[in-house]
Amino acid sequence: MRLGFYGRISTTYGNDIDVPAVSAGLSIAELRRELARRSGYEDILDPIYRAAVNNVIVTEDHHVREGDRVDFLSPLSGG
Amino acid sequence: MRLGFYGRISTTYGNDIDVPAVSAGLSIAELRRELARRSGYEDILDPIYRAAVNNVIVTEDHHVREGDRVDFLSPLSGG
Amino acid sequence: MKPNTTVWIDAELSLGLIDRVRRVNALRHAVPDCGAMVTFDGMVRPSSKEGESIEALILDHHPEMTAPSIERIAHDGAARFDVQGISVAHRSGRLLPGDMIVFVAVASAHRRAAFECADYLMDRLKTDAVFWKREQGGFGERWIEPTSADKKDRERWYEETAGH
Amino acid sequence: MKPNTTVWIDAELSLGLIDRVRRVNALRHAVPDCGAMVTFDGMVRPSSKEGESIEALILDHHPEMTAPSIERIAHDGAARFDVQGISVAHRSGRLLPGDMIVFVAVASAHRRAAFECADYLMDRLKTDAVFWKREQGGFGERWIEPTSADKKDRERWYEETAGH
C-alpha cells in the first residue's frame, strides 16, 4: 500500500513510501499503529496529522480498501 | 470682497463672485445675512455650507479682514 | 501600539488618469521588504443609485484646500496603523463610466494592518477629502453628497473632521 | 443578504510567477461595471519571526487536493458576499524574498463587500488552502504552521473546514 506524507510529518517518514503486505480492511487508526510499529517512529499516532483517502479527509474509523491512496497531512499553512 | 462657492451651493450663487463694498470686520454670520439680503437667495443661511477663510474652516463668529479669501463649502463628497 | 517608524507616503491630487501600475510599482520599490499590500480602486459606475444611465461624473476640487486634505488623510493613516507605505491618488475633473476616481495602496509587514489602513483611508476620503461631485445623464445633472452609510463608516474611526 | 447572481471566478494554483497586472486586467475586463476593487498581495519577507535572514520559502502542495481547495475557497467567498468577481492565485515551489506567495482581487458594486470578501479569502487561504511551507536560511530549514493569530482570524467567519 502506498502512503503519502505532507508537511512536517514527511521529515519522519519520507514523502511517499510503499508499505508492503498491509492488508486492506485496516482502519486509519489501525494503519497508524501498524506504521508506528514497523518504523519505530510514533509521530503518526498524533491525530494532528489528518488522513486523506483518495483525496478526501477521513475519520479514524474509516477502513481502507485495496488500491486506495492514503495520505497523512500535517497542519496546513498557505498564504 | 471675493467669495467662492463650492459644490451644490455654487448653483445658487455661482462659483466665484465679487461682492463690492462689503466692509471688512463682518463676522461670517453677518456676511451670510448680507449675501442673502443682496441676492434674494437664503440658501447661504444654512450652516451645512461651511465657511473657510484663507483655506481654513472657521466658525460663525470669525471676523473677516481686508484681503481675506472667503469660501463657502457644500458637504464634501470624495471617493 | 503603533511603532514610531517612518512611513513612505505618496499622496496626490490627480488631474489626469491615475496610473495604478506605476503607483503599485513605486510603493513596492519604496518598501521592498513588506509582506503584505492591499489596494483599493474606486471607479465610476455606469448607473446612478436610481438605476439611470450615467454619462459622466464631474469632480470639483478647491485650488488650495484639496491637495492638503488628501495628504492629511494619508498621514493620519500612517500615524494610526503599523504600516510601511501609503499611496493615495484622487482624481478631479470630468470622468466617464469605468474611469478610476480614487486609488489607495498600503504596504505593511502583516496583512491585518494593511487591510484596516486601506479601509480607513477610503472612509476618510469619502467624507473628509475636499471634493464635490455631480453626475450627468439623461436626467440632467445632480450633486452627490455623502450618504448616511458613508457617515456611519466614517464614524467607526472617531477622528477629528478634516479642516477643524 | 446575498443576491443570487453569477460571480466571475478565476482561481489558480500557480507553479510559476503570479502576474498581478494580468490578473487585475482580466478581472476588470470580466466585470467592467464594478465600482470597487480590492486586491491583496502576500510576499515572502526577508526575515523570519525570530529576525533571522531568510534565503528561501518552499511551498509544497498536494497533487490532487490543492487546486480544488483554492477553488472551493473562492466559491465560498462568492456565495457569502455581494461581489461580482474574484481572482485568486496561490504559488507553490521555491520562492525568494520579495516573491509573491498569494494574490487576491475582488470586484464589487460597493467597497464594503470587496474589502470583507478579500479579508475573508485571505483568512481562509492561510488555514484551509492545502499547502505546507518551510523557510530556509543560515539556521537550516524549518516548517511553518498556522499561528494562533491565523486561527483566530479564521474563526471570525465560522465556516466548515476545507476537506470536511
A18: amino acid identity, one letter: D
* DSSP-derived pairing of the beta strands B2-6 and B70-73: parallel
pLDDT at C1: 54
Q: Which three cell numbers stand for residue C121?
A: 483611508
Is pLDDT above 70 for C147? yes
Pick from A11, A55, A78: which is nearest to D131 by CB?
Answer: A78
Q: What is the domain partition of chain B in residue ranges? A: 2-73
- Backbone φ and ψ for C73, nearest 5 degrees, come out as -60, -45
Distance from CA of D96 to the nearest CA of A (A): 15
Query: Is D148 or C20 the better-scoring residue by pLDDT?
Result: C20
State the pLDDT confidence band at A21, using cuts at 50, 70 and 90: low
State the pLDDT confidence band at D163, using cuts at 50, 70 and 90: very low
- Contact yes or no for D92/D61 (Cβ under 8 A): yes
- Tell me which chain A residue has its CA closest to the CA of residue D101: A79
Percentage, residues of chain C above pLDDT 70: 93
Nearest to A13 by CA among A38, D59, D146, A28: A38
Pick from D42, D125, D143: which is nearest to A8 by CB?
Answer: D143
CATH topology of domain D8-45+53-163: Aldehyde Oxidoreductase; domain 3 (3.90.1170)
- Contact yes or no for C84/C117 (Cβ under 8 A): no
Q: Is C112 exposed, middle or buried (0-12, 13-18, 19+ CB in 10 A)?
A: middle
| A75/D145 Cβ within 8 A | yes
Cα D65 to Cα A56: distance, rounded to the nearest angstrom = 8
Count Cβ atoms below 10 Å from residue C155 Cβ, excluding itself. 11
The stretch B54-65 carries a mean pLDDT of 95
- Give the distance between the most distant pair of CA atoms in chain C: 52
The contact set of D with A (CB < 8 A) is 42, 59-60, 62, 64-65, 68, 90, 101-102, 122, 125-133, 143-146, 150, 162-164
DSSP 8-state code for residue C161: P
Q: What is the domain partition of chain C in residue ranges? A: 8-45+53-163
Q: Which three cell numbers stand for residue D108?
A: 464589487
Q: Give domain B2-73's CATH superfamily.
A: Beta-grasp domain (3.10.20.30)
pLDDT at C164: 40
State the pLDDT confidence band at C162, using cuts at 50, 70 and 90: very low
Cα B59 to Cα B28: distance, rounded to the nearest angstrom = 7
The stretch D53-59 carries a mean pLDDT of 97
State the pLDDT confidence band at C163, using cuts at 50, 70 and 90: very low
